Structure 1
Amino acid sequence: MPTTSTDSAWRKVPRPQVRRFAELALDEVPDLAQSILRQIRREYPGLPLTLDESGEPLALVGIRRALEQFVGSMADGFGLPREPPYVFQEFGRDQVLSGRSLNSLQAIYRLGVKLAWRRLAELGDKVGIPAPAMYEVAESGFEYLDGMVAETMRGYAEAVALQANERMRLQRQLLDQLLTEWPRADRSGMLAERAARIGWALPHRVAVAVLLRPAREAVAPAVGQDVLLDMEREQPRMVVPEPDAAGRPELLRRATAGWSGALGPSVPLVQAPKSLRWAAAAVQLIERGLLPGGAVVQCTDYTEALVLLPAEELLGDLDRRRLAPLLTCGPAQARHLAETLLAWLETRGGTMEIAARLGVHPQTVRYRLRQIRELWGDEVADPDRRFELELVLRARRLRGELASPPE
């Protein structure tokens, strides 16, 4: 209702008549509030009653205060905006704590306004308030209802946010417990207690992912509630329950679209730190450009790289000792000989097979194999030496120093 309108029917009602109407309405408030609450409880028998500090139902307090404030605004000619009492925010918060939606509460508010209007209409008729003026009272009542709903939604939103923050705090505690190495072998009891506080069913197996943010403001992956996600870290972590379940890999792929990172191997729940270690090692290789980025890779798809590349110091020393004969060759010749030696070690095939693998003439392969025997001598006949040679040569290929064989 535009309260500043000059043709307002309510403003044309004589002030003594308005004051008399307001006095009668205020006198009615206590009984009217009780009547409204009784009717609400009849129509909504499952409605719980929260008591305030004095033991009075909070709903009754809210109804009474809302009526008093609305009647007060009538006496002022609806000239000043009146916000509904703060208690309606409490109603919104209670809805969250009890796990209910706002739909039923809004229906209850409408019922309360309807009942209040009936009584006010009777009083208006008793005092002789013209019908057009009372219509304006009704319009103001429904505007006031909008304010009550807005206050309730504010309290509801605040409670939802607090609840979400609390869940995230408890979830981070669970993640820390789950991903920390502990000296005790059995941590299932502690994990079960923390998981129960956020309603997380303990899985038999998990896989842990470490993520790389595509941008600082990137939206978190749209994973389900059963996936634990910690976005507070520079490199977010994710614990995926039952990663081998049907459809899980495809769901994760869609949820993490646009993100880079690595998902560690599937392990029993209490061994989650092991999965984390492999995921973190894979992310380091992604950052170095040694594993592909642009998606969340599966560690089990890159076992060779994860076994060989992180052991740089050990393999570096072995590389220097086992591949020392190549130092007598030029760079191009050394690379060709290394690729030929690796092809022979991996296939133990004949000249034709190695030539096809390398894409060179068989005569070239024969020439290179003669050079290899001259450079390494009996070492290529020793199984342990051959194994070490294959390790260091595969590591070179993984680093991009040798050509990969065709698919």
Structure 2
Amino acid sequence: MAESSRATREAARLALDEQVARALQARLPMIAERTVTAITAEVPSYSGTLTGQMRDKISNAVQIALGTFLNLLEHAQGTDPSTPLTPALEAAYALGSGEARSGRSMDALLAAYRIGARVAWREMSTTTVRSGLSAATVAEFAELLFAYIDELSAASVAGHADELASAGRARRRNLERLTQHLLAAEPEEVLLASAQRADWPPPQTLTAVLLPRANLRAPLVLLSAQTLEASEDLPGTEPDEETAVLLVPDMHGTRRRQLARVLHGRRAVLGPARPWTRVAVSFRRASRALALGITEPADGAPLDTEEHLAELILGTDPEGLTDLRARALEPLSALPAASAARLADTLRSWLLHHGRRDDVAADLFVHPQTVRYRMGRLRELYGDRLTDPASVLELTLALAFPPPPE
């Protein structure tokens, strides 16, 4: 920081004699006290904080900063320009970092610097003029003083920005770790500790949302600031750079419709709302819907897993469903493929419409007599199985959805 110091580079032009320097040094305690008083009176953020030990600490810091500047001028000739202001600039940097950790913006500190510069110059100019310095020298003194304070304020700004960036990185890491813990279904005590480290207030529920990463930014603007975004490496899954995962707080009940509106047209998959410590259930269900390739609504609405529970349940064991389908449809296996398909469609509709022949005919776009004929053929093939509850359940499950493509 000191290598680029304008005050250091130009101080050689204005070396103070020993008498003026001593007079200014003697006034530093008074200047520091008046500076703190002015800051307390004019900067609301500091009006109730610069008291007691804190006031003494700031007053001492002002004396050190101004004393460093005076020493620079007093000993400017032959000074190594890379070192004189380093301690003061490092202290200013630390001051900015401390303000960020205290949760204050730089506005208050910059205002304090401006007030400090004004008060310091008013008091120092009185001494320099009384000491008989020429107007040109006093002007140069003022220019260097304000340049020096500008450098201090710039160092504080850098410290403030670096602290915020560092704190932001740390919080992002903690939020990412919390998200990983949630998706991995860690024990509740682990989740509570992780949420506390991330400074993340636990909601009542979380809903897992999967959507293409390219569609992520717009919804994030509209969703709660407490929404968690998973990294690419998800527990129990292969890394997928194309799919993003959001954990959205408190979108249960009627708010689910609001979430669906935000995600409209984003090709999103919604898991169920679950208590926040059990959001892994929501994530797994949304992931299963995505893996099964359940058809998305044609109107651009998100795929809501709550509306596809039967498909999800039947899709948990694809091989088991294939075996069930083969056993349930075994009586049709000897028929030509086209005939078997027609009878299977008829049987599915008959089961779904509880045997109401007219409804079955309307569903299949055939004449009721055609339904009567086909059901007669099915009774020949199945016999009493069409009235046996266990067989009817198996047939209903086997025929509930079209068979997967070969």
The residue identity in structure 2 corresponding to 1:310 is T
Tell me whether 1:283 sits opposite 2:287 in the alignment. Answer: no
Cα 1:162/1:24, change in 2 over 3 Å: same
Q: Distance in 2 between matches of 1:101 and 1:50?
A: 23
Secondary structure in 1 matching 2:15? helix
Structure 1 equivalent of residue 236 of structure 2: none
Greater CA deviation, 305-314 or 214-223?
A: 214-223
Q: Which residue of 2 aligns with 1:250?
A: 258
Output the amino acid matched with 1:283: L
CA RMSD, 1 decimal: 4.1
Looking at structure 1, the residues matched to 261 and 351 of structure 2 have their Cα atoms a distance apart, in angstroms, of: 37
Identity of aligned pairs, percent? 30
Distance 2:97 2:135 in 1: 38
In the alignment, structure 1 residue 241 sits paired with structure 2 residue 240: no
For the 8 Å contact 1:211–1:296, the answer to whether it is kept is: no
1:169 alignment partner in structure 2:
173
Which residue of structure 1 aligns with residue 356 of structure 2?
Answer: 350
| Contact preservation (8 Å) 2:183, 2:279 | yes
- How many residue pairs end up in the alignment? 372
Q: Could you tell me how far apart the structure 1 residues matched to 2:180 and 2:330 are?
A: 46
Question: 1: distance between equivalents of 2:171 and 2:95?
Answer: 21
Supply the AA of the counterpart residue of 2:98. D
- SS of 1:57's equivalent in the other structure is helix
From the superposition, tell whether residues 257 and 105 of structure 1 become closer, same or farther in structure 2 (CA, over 3 Å). Answer: farther
Conserved 8 A contact 1:214-1:258: no
Is the Cα–Cα contact under 8 Å of residues 209 and 248 in structure 2 kept in the other structure? no
Instruction: Report matched runs for 1:215-226 at 5 Å.
Output: 215=214, 221-222=220-221, 223-226=223-226
Counterpart of 2:384 in structure 1 is 378
Q: State whether structure 2 residue 91 is matched by structure 1 residue 95.
A: no
Deviation at 1:215, TM superposition (A): 4.1
CA contact (8 A) 2:227 2:248 kept: yes
- Note if contact 1:195-1:202 (Cα within 8 Å) is conserved in structure 2: yes
The one-character-per-residue Cα deviations of 1:311-353 (angstroms, maximum 9, x if unpaired) are 2011011111112344334444433332222111101243321
Structural mapping, 1:201-212, within 5 Å: 201-204=201-204, 206-212=205-211
- TM-fit CA distance, 1:253: 4.8
Q: Partner amino acid for 2:117?
A: V
Report the counterpart of residue 361 of structure 1 in structure 2: 367
For 1:395, what is the secondary structure of its paired residue?
A: coil
Q: How far did residue 246 of structure 1 move?
A: 5.5
- One-letter amino acid of the structure 2 residue matched with residue 221 of structure 1: L
Equivalent residue for 1:32? 28
> More displaced, 309-318 or 210-219?
210-219
Q: Residue 275 of structure 2 aligns with which residue? A: 268
Does the 8 Å CA contact 2:176/2:231 hold for their aligned counterparts? no
Aligned to 2:213, the other structure's residue is in SS state: coil
Return the letter of the residue paired with 1:298.
D
Alignment of structure 1 residues 51-70 onto 2, 5 Å: 57=57, 60-61=60-61, 64-65=64-65, 68-69=68-69
CA distance in 2, matches of 1:108, 1:63: 15
**Alpha-carbon deviation of 1:105?**
0.9
Over 3 Å counting, the alpha-carbon distance change for 1:65 and 1:331 in structure 2 is farther
Preserved CA contact (<8 Å) 1:208 1:279: no
Deviation at residue 376 of structure 1 after TM alignment: 2.8
Q: Shift in Å at residue 370 of structure 1?
A: 3.3
Q: What is the CA-CA distance between 1:396 and the residue it aligns to? A: 2.1
Judged with a 3 Å threshold, the aligned counterparts in structure 2 of structure 1 residues 103 and 382 are, in CA distance, closer, same or farther, namely: same
Residue 263 of structure 1 and its aligned partner are, at CA, apart by 3.2
Cα 1:118–1:62 change in 2 (3 A) is: closer
Q: Which residue identity lines up with residue 287 of structure 2 in the other structure?
A: A
Partners of 1:59 and 1:221 lie apart in 2 by 46
Q: Distance in 2 between matches of 1:340 and 1:22?
A: 110
1:262-321 residue CA offsets vs partner (Å, 9 max, x unmatched): 332233344333333222212323xx4645697753321221221112320110111111
> Unpaired runs of 5+ in structure 1?
1-10, 402-407
1:295/1:58 CA distance change after superposition, 3 Å: farther
1:119 is matched with 123
Displacement of 1:392: 1.7
Q: Does the CA-based 8 Å contact 2:117-2:149 persist in structure 1?
A: yes
Query: What SS does structure 2 have at the residue aligned with 1:20?
Result: coil
CA, structure 1 residues 267+219, in 2 after alignment: closer, same or farther (shift >3 Å)?
closer
Deviation by residue 1:181-204 (Cα, 9 ceiling, x = unmatched):
46xxxx555544443333433444
Partner residue in 2 for 1:47: 49
1:228 aligned partner: 228
